[in-house]
Amino acid sequence: MKTEIISCDARKFYKELKIGTAPPDEEARRRIPHHFIGHLSIHQYYTARDFERDALTKLEKLFARYSVVIMVGGSGFYEKALTQGLDRFPETYPKIRKDLITLFKKEGLIPLQKELKKKDPVYYQMVDKNNHQRILRALEIIRTSCLPFSSFLFHQKKKNRFFRTIKIGLNSPREFLYERINQRVNDMMQKGLLEEARLYFPNKDLNALKTVGYRELFSYFEGRLSLERAIEEIKKNTRHYAKRQLTWYRNDPEVTWFEPDHINEIFAYIKNIRPEKRV
């Protein structure tokens, strides 16, 4: 199948992060052109709406050449922005956000996590529980609307697109997946992740660097973790991230699941769907 690839992995957007985000190597990118990998600087502010706009523009050009374009990646929110459009969230009240921020500053993240778990257990299983900004935003919407935040993610009307989306998920045994994650972290450390993280440590407050693989090593530089413990935390947090990705897509009824080595079955499934522009 002759085509090109769009990445919706938000971690891979940043050109400085050559090791910690494990982008495809140059050989893979020579064989099949990839888009939205290393196209930004960590100093640039880039949102899911920006990605939606830029990726739609890119798809218009790609569909002039191909009937199928492949999108890969792990940022479910960015995938949804492109394939379905972003949700319309209700207007919120400044006082609600102010109250939440005050609670966070006084008591930390734990009471916010507990409230989210009680009011929206679905989103609680998906969200990075250490990302206070996402938890604050979800609770802001919940307190305003009296509805679960997840209801805005999965139950709103899709925007019209000029292509049809075929969603394919890959089933992997948990033990196999976790073994690959652990090995990948070891490989990244051998390739120089420690030095890369040290180079960008002065920029640790940038949003692009508040991600797995960097924040744990920043804790090591600050003396809060040993290097051995930091590496174990990277592995653990990456496993948690993978679990959240699976939870997100298990909740998407449009995903059809295959075993990773069933390549022929996947291509047959795609070809059996009537020919039209597909991503």
- Domain at 29, CATH number: 3.40.50.300
Pair (173, 240) in one structural domain: yes
Secondary structure (3-state) at 164: strand
> DSSP secondary-structure letter at 144?
H
Query: What value, to the nearest 5°, has the Cα angle with vertex 23 and ends 180 and 223?
Result: 75
User: What range does the domain containing 112 cover?
Assistant: 94-154
CATH of residue 137 = 1.10.20.140
Please list, in sequence order, all residues whose beta carbon lies within 8 angstroms of the beta carbon of residue 211, skipping any fewer than 6 positions away.
11, 20, 21
**Is residue 277 one of the residues assigned to a domain?**
no
pTM of the model: 0.78
Pair (183, 74) in one structural domain: yes
Secondary structure (3-state) at 252: coil
Give pLDDT tens digits for 129-174: 888 888 999 999 999 998 899 888 766 667 889 999 999 999 988 8
**Of the residues 154, 182, 200, the one at which a domain ends:** 154
Secondary structure (3-state) at 256: strand
Pair (176, 66) in one structural domain: yes
Say whether pLDDT at 279 is over 70. Answer: no
Distance CA 222, CA 220 (A): 5
Say whether pLDDT at 209 is over 80. Answer: yes
**Of the residues 128, 154, 180, the one at which a domain ends:** 154
Pair (147, 235) in one structural domain: no
Pair (125, 256) in one structural domain: no
User: pLDDT at position 17, please?
Assistant: 96
Give pLDDT tens digits for 217-269: 999 999 999 999 999 999 999 999 898 888 888 888 899 999 999 999 998 89
Distance CA 238, CA 21 (A): 11
Pair (130, 229) in one structural domain: no
| Domain total in the chain | 2
Which residue do the tokens 């699941």 mark? 257
68, 270 contact by CB (below 8 A): yes
Pair (135, 149) in one structural domain: yes
**Of the residues 133, 154, 175, the one at which a domain ends:** 154
Say whether pLDDT at 75 is over 90. Answer: no
Pair (74, 39) in one structural domain: yes
